[in-house]
Amino acid sequence: MIQFQDVSVTYEGAEGKVKAVQKLSLNINKGEIFGIVGASGAGKSTLLRTINLLERPTEGRIFINNQDITDLKGEDLRLLRQKIGMIFQHFNLIKRKTVFENVAFPMVAAGKPKDEIQKRVNQLLNLVGLSDKSNAFPAQLSGGQKQRVGIARALANETEILLCDEPTSALDLETTKSILNLLKEINQKLGITIVIITHEMDVVKSICDRVAVMNDGQLLEAGNVYDVFVNPRNVFTKQLIEHTFHLEFPKQIFNDFKGRVLKIVYKGESATEPLISEVSKRYNVNLNIVHGKIEYIGDRPVGILVVDIEGEEREVQLAVDYINERTAFTEVVLYAS
Ligand SMILES: Nc1ncnc2c1ncn2[C@@H]1O[C@H](COP(=O)(O)OP(=O)(O)OP(=O)(O)O)[C@@H](O)[C@H]1O
């Protein structure tokens, strides 16, 4: 549905040119929730903002529904933007307008008739659970409620694509969950394509179907969220993911281990316990489980096991290779000296 073809965006900064996005090609499918992640300055916002041409590519083309939108201007651009809603980290509501007026704003701007606006705004407030706040002003709302108004406003016209710029970064954990659930519900009920940029891998893990990882304006990898999390190809992606699996151990924890510490990641709930005992029998090695847990990516489980493996170098290597062949990936996280 959205295709980036060799898209680059270069800014003229105070200290010279900044290549915010570099020759990036990517497809986002209709009806999916697509996450774009990366560290600060990776170019995520810039890329997101090219979709509604708030930022124009310096090079390359962008297609939406097979239409080349790169050079759209005037009325054509206005019509394109009507189909693309956007929500922001700090909500960007109009302070002096009520909740109703904020949500109605894009429809008023599009010249829709009053009775249609009335009906649609009430529907949307119902959808986001704010029917009772119609006459409230933004200052009277919590962060989560403000984001709900933002979402309702972004859906006011015949929205096909919802762009989300760090939508939960200003919210606490519980509120984040409820906003993510709402986005998921909107995606499923209304079939709207959602593109989310975030630095929180937990957001990606809980609602995205596919994800792109960016660094320094470049696309490092893209794919199904489960596959990228279970088997990241890039070192940078691995680091991002490691963090969300909360697997950083204090170094002291390894002091008692004499061998090599492995992190084993396996798909689904397939038991690695038999694998571990099988390896102990097959090879002359001792294995101790240091830590084990199951995480969920969407509703699919992924298992993580940290084991200490001890024995002669050759036997250890054979055992590691054996485990590696039978799991999603195995990584040596520590060599004991
Ligand atoms: N208007 C601008 N003028 C000059 N440089 C810019 C402009 N906007 C962004 N940049 C630069 O482009 C690069 C990418 O910025 P961008 O905001 O797209 O990254 P990001 O991944 O969204 O970062 P963050 O998560 O911090 O928002 C950065 O080096 C940034 O400083």
Q: What is the pLDDT along the chain (337 residues), one digit of tens a residue?
A: 999 999 999 999 888 899 999 999 999 999 999 999 998 899 999 999 999 999 999 999 999 999 999 999 999 999 999 899 999 999 999 999 999 999 999 999 989 999 999 999 999 999 999 999 999 999 999 999 999 999 999 999 889 999 999 999 989 999 999 999 999 999 999 999 999 999 888 899 889 999 999 999 999 999 999 889 888 888 888 888 877 776 666 666 666 666 678 888 877 666 556 778 888 889 999 888 888 888 888 778 888 888 888 888 898 889 888 888 877 767 666 655 4
pLDDT of residue 287: 86
- Helix H segments across 128-218? 143-154, 173-190, 201-207
| Rounded Cα–Cα distance for residues 325 and 319 (Å) | 10
The 8-class DSSP code of residue 240 comes to: H
Predicted structure pTM score: 0.86
Residue nearest to atom 7 of ligand 1 (CA): 11
**The CATH number of domain 251-335 is 3.30.930.10:** no
pLDDT of residue 32: 97
Amino acid at 57: P
Q: What are phi and psi of 43, to 5 degrees?
A: 110, 10
Conformational region of residue 321, where left means phi above 0, alpha means psi within -120 to 50, and beta covers everything else: alpha
The alpha carbon of 33 and the centre of ligand 1 are apart by a number of angstroms equal to 23
pLDDT of residue 253: 64
**Considering only the top CATH level, what class is 2-231?**
alpha beta
Task: State whether the beta carbon of 19 lies less than 6 angstroms from ligand 1.
Answer: no
Residue nearest to atom 14 of ligand 1 (CA): 43
ipTM above 0.85, yes or no: yes
The 8-class DSSP code of residue 138 comes to: G
Contacts of 213 (CB under 8 A, 6+ apart): 37, 38, 219, 220, 221, 222, 228, 234, 236, 237, 240
Amino acid at 213: V
The alpha carbon of 45 and the centre of ligand 1 are apart by a number of angstroms equal to 7
Q: Where are the domains of the chain?
A: 2-231, 251-335
| Rounded Cα–Cα distance for residues 106 and 115 (Å) | 15
The structure tokens listed for 187 are 């995606």
Collapsing DSSP states into helix, strand and coil, what is residue 166? coil
User: Best substitution site from 18, 19, 47, 240 to test ligand 1's pocket, by max atoms within 8 Å of Cβ?
Assistant: 18
| Rounded Cα–Cα distance for residues 2 and 57 (Å) | 14
Kindly provide the residue ranges of all beta strands, DSSP E only, lying in 199-312, ordered along the sequence.
210-215, 218-224, 260-267, 285-297, 300-311
Residue nearest to atom 11 of ligand 1 (CA): 20
- Helix H segments across the chain? 44-51, 74-82, 99-109, 114-127, 143-154, 173-190, 201-207, 225-230, 235-244, 273-282, 313-326
CA 54 to centroid of chain Cα atoms: 21
CB-based burial of residue 288 (10 Å sphere; 0-12 exposed, 13-18 middle, 19+ buried)? middle
Residue with tokens 């294995």: 287
Pairing of strands 84-88, 285-297: unpaired
Q: Measuring CA to CA, how many Å separate 315 from each of 196, 265, 273, 318, 319?
A: 46, 21, 19, 5, 6
